[in-house]
């Protein structure tokens, strides 16, 4: 059976389209070092997918600096912007999937919780900026993920029905945003054993057949 193509396919950026999490980890590690603490994998698991507002609250608690969340986030932003200028690569299968969707004339977009400055920088560093005419950043909507605003705005710009579109996400926060917007959600976790409960299906790679079927590039079995 051949699938009808979706109205649109919308990619999360950090950890899904691009391996920016290594840049974030370097920045987070340095931030914690500056403030006399150690950044751990448990911190990483808790931070993935967080909006800046949520992350600010977490940093305040972890670094024992109540009321300093905004300043800590600003410091982290400066650190990660420097890291974003090098060593940012697409995730496995990402470029091939994007190019196949473009060839099939299936509309695509990026929907990221990161601010516009970071999103533009990493897309350029990874060499994929010219593949996306539509990108939506976390500081361009009223409510970032897990609220549906970013996905709804991406669908609006693509003139796509959310219920006929697919969202690709690597975190529970992002998957909740896509699901709340009404998209069919494919979870591709950056941390392999991370569960993504809001996703309709979870798989290990953007190159997996389940992704290709969901976005209408291959036929699904009866």
- Return mean pLDDT, the chain: 94
Instruction: Please state, in angstroms and as integers, the Cα–Cα distance from residue 194 to each residue in 10, 20, 28, 172, 175, following that order.
Output: 21, 17, 20, 9, 12
Backbone phi and psi for residue 97, each to the nearest 5 degrees, phi listed first: -65, -45
* Residues 117, 137: Cα–Cα separation, whole Å: 9
The predicted-structure confidence for 128-178, as pLDDT tens digits, reads as follows 999 999 999 999 999 999 999 999 999 999 999 999 999 999 999 999 999
The predicted-structure confidence for 55-97, as pLDDT tens digits, reads as follows 999 999 999 999 999 999 999 999 999 999 999 999 999 999 9
Instruction: Please state, in angstroms and as integers, the Cα–Cα distance from residue 26 to each residue in 20, 88, 97, following that order.
Output: 10, 12, 28
How confident is residue 4, by pLDDT bands cut at 50, 70 and 90? Answer: confident
DSSP letter string, 119-177: HHHHHHHTT-GGG-S-EE-GGGSSS-TTSSHHHHHHHHHHT--GGGEEEEESSHHHHHH
What pLDDT, on a 0 to 100 scale, did the predictor assign at position 220? 65
């Amino acid at each position: 059976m051949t699938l009808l193509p979706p109205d649109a396919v919308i990619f999360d950026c950090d950890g899904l389209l691009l391996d920016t999490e290594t840049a974030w980890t370097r920045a987070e590690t340095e931030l914690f070092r500056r403030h006399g603490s150690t950044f751990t994998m448990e911190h990483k698991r808790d931070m993935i997918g967080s909006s800046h507002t949520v992350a600010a609250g977490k940093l305040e608690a972890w670094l024992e600096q109540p009321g300093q969340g905004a300043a800590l986030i600003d410091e982290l932003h400066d650190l990660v912007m420097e890291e974003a200028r090098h060593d940012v690569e697409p995730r496995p299968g990402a470029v091939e999937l994007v190019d196949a969707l473009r060839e099939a004339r299936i509309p695509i977009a990026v929907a990221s919780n990161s601010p516009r400055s970071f999103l533009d920088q990493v897309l350029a560093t990874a060499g994929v900026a010219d593949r996306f005419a539509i990108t939506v950043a976390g500081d361009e909507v009223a409510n970032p993920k897990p609220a549906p605003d970013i996905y709804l705005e991406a669908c609006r710009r693509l003139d796509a029905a959310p219920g006929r579109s697919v969202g690709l996400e690597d975190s529970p926060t992002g998957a909740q945003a896509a699901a709340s917007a009404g998209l069919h959600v494919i979870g591709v976790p950056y941390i392999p054993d991370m569960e993504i409960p809001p996703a309709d299906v979870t798989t290990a790679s953007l190159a997996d057949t389940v992704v290709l079927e969901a976005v209408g590039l291959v036929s699904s079995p009866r």
